[in-house]
C-alpha cells in the first residue's frame, strides 16, 4: 500500500498537509504543528479502506437510483434528472 504525504509550511506558522491514500483519495488539511499533522495523517491513512467501502456503497446507491429513474421514465438522453 502506498500513501503520499506532503507536509510544508503554509502561512502564519501553519503546516499544509496533502494526503493521498492507496485508493487515490486525496485531502488537504492545515495543522499548527508537526505532531498534530503526523497524528492526523496516521489516522486518515488508517481509514482508507473504510472510506473506500463507504464511497463504493454510495456509488452503488446512485447507480441504482439512476436505473430506477430510467425505468420510471424520468430521465432524458442527456440528463439524469437527479437535481
Q: Model confidence over 36-71: pLDDT tens digits?
A: 999 999 999 999 999 999 999 999 999 998 888 888
The answer as to whether 63 is a domain residue is yes
The answer as to whether 80 is a domain residue is no
Domain of residue 66: give its range. 4-72
Q: How does residue 76 score in pLDDT terms, banded at 50, 70 and 90?
A: low
Query: What percent of the chain lies above the pLDDT cut of 70?
Result: 90
Give the Cα separation of 41 and 55 in Å (integer): 20
pLDDT at 12 over 70: yes
The residue with greater pLDDT, 79 or 68, is 68
pLDDT of amino acid 14: 96
Give the Cα separation of 74 and 24 in Å (integer): 34
Query: What percent of the chain lies above the pLDDT cut of 90?
Result: 70
The answer as to whether 19 is a domain residue is yes
pTM: 0.72
The answer as to whether 51 is a domain residue is yes
The answer as to whether 10 is a domain residue is yes
Radius of gyration of the chain (CA): 19
The answer as to whether 79 is a domain residue is no
Number of domains in the chain: 1
The answer as to whether 22 is a domain residue is yes
The answer as to whether 81 is a domain residue is no
Amino acid at each position: 500500500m502506498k500513501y503520499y504525504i506532503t507536509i510544508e509550511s503554509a502561512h502564519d506558522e501553519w503546516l499544509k498537509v496533502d494526503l493521498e491514500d492507496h485508493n487515490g483519495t486525496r485531502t488537504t488539511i492545515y495543522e499548527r504543528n508537526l505532531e498534530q499533522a503526523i497524528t492526523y495523517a496516521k489516522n486518515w491513512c488508517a481509514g482508507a479502506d473504510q472510506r473506500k467501502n463507504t464511497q463504493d456503497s454510495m456509488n452503488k446507491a446512485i447507480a441504482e437510483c439512476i436505473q430506477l429513474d430510467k425505468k420510471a421514465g424520468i430521465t432524458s438522453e442527456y440528463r439524469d434528472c437527479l437535481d
